[in-house]
Structure 1
C-alpha cells in the first residue's frame, strides 16, 4: 500500500511484528502475530494493542488514535514481509467484530488494484464458500496469498 506507515520490527521467525501508533491518544504499542493453523500453509493474522503486563494483544480494543489508515497500512506491510519469508503461505484475516471485518473489507476495496498486482484475495461469503474477492460484496473473513501460488486470475 502506498500510504504512510509506521516502521515495524519483526522477530527472528517473522511471525511477530511490533510498531507504535502515534496519535491523539499518545503512543500505543501494536502487535501483529501470524500463527500456523491446523491446515498446511494457512496462517491466522492476529492484530491489536499490545499489553506489556500480560504480554498479549487485545484485538477488541478501540484505540481511536486518529491514525487508522496508517495502522492498517502498517499491518498490510507486514503481510508483504511475511510472504517474502513464507511465499507459500495463505493468510486468514478476520476482524474480531463485524465492524472490524467491514473495515478490513474497505481497506482491501480501496487498495484492490495495488494489492492484486501481487496477491490473490478470497472472501468467505454468507453461503459459506471461499470466492474471489469482489468489490461491494460482504464477507466474514479473507484469505490472501501470493499470486505465484497458482491463483493469478
Structure 2
C-alpha cells in the first residue's frame, strides 16, 4: 500500500504473530496481528487489534489514534511477510463489525491495482468466495500471495 508503515515490529519466529506500537494523538497503543489455523487446511485467520490488560487482542475497541492508514498498511505488510513465508496458505479476515469490514473493503479498493500485483483477492458474499470487486458489499476476504504474474 502507498502509506507509511510502523517499522519497529516484533515478529515471532513462525511469522504468526506481529506486534507494534501505534503512536498517535492518544499516545502509545500496543497492537497485535495474529495468524491462526482454521478448520480448513491452509486457511489462516487474521486477528488484529489493541492488546488489552489481559494480553489478549481486543478487536472491538476503537483507539482513534489518528494513524488508521499507517496501521492498515502495517497489517498489509504483515500479511505480505506471512504469505511470503507460507506461499501455499490463504489468509481470511473480516471486521469485528460491518463498519470495519466496509473500511477494509474500501482500503483494498483504493489500493487494488497495487495489491493485485502481489495477491489474489476474493470477497466473501453469501458464504461463497468470488473475485474481489470494488463497490461490492463483502462479508469477508480471502487472500493468497501470487507466486508469479500468471497466478489467478
State the TM-score bracket (shorter-chain normalisation). over 0.9
Q: TM-score, normalised by structure 2?
A: 0.95
Structure 1 segments unaligned to the other structure (5+ residues)? none
User: Please, which runs of 5 or more residues in structure 2 have no aligned partner?
Assistant: none
TM-score by length of 1: 0.94
Secondary structure of the residue aligned to 2:4 is coil
Q: Which residue of 2 aligns with 1:67?
A: 67
CA distance in 1, matches of 2:130, 2:148: 16
Question: How far apart are 1:148 and its partner, in Å?
Answer: 2.4
1:139 aligns with 2:138: yes
The residue aligned with 1:19 is 20
1:105 alignment counterpart: 105
Does the CA-based 8 Å contact 1:10-1:17 persist in structure 2? yes
1:119 maps to 2:104 = no
Q: Would you say 1:33 and 2:25 are equivalent positions?
A: no
Partner SS, residue 66 of structure 1: coil
1:121 positional shift: 0.3
* Contact in 1 for aligned 2:80/2:145 (Cα 8 Å): no
Other structure's SS at 1:139 match: coil
1:27, distance to aligned residue in structure 2 (A):
0.4
Match of 1:80 in 2: 80
Tell me by how many angstroms 1:118 deviates.
1.2
* CA RMSD of superposed structures (Å): 1.5
2:147 aligned counterpart, secondary structure:
helix
- Would the aligned equivalents of 1:88 and 1:149 in 2 still touch at CA under 8 Å? no
Shift of 1:85: 1.1
Name the CA distance, whole Å, in 2 between partners of 1:44 and 1:151.
Answer: 26
- DSSP 3-state at the match of 2:138: coil
Deviating 4+ runs (over 4 angstroms):
none
How far 1:150 sits from its partner (Å)? 9.8
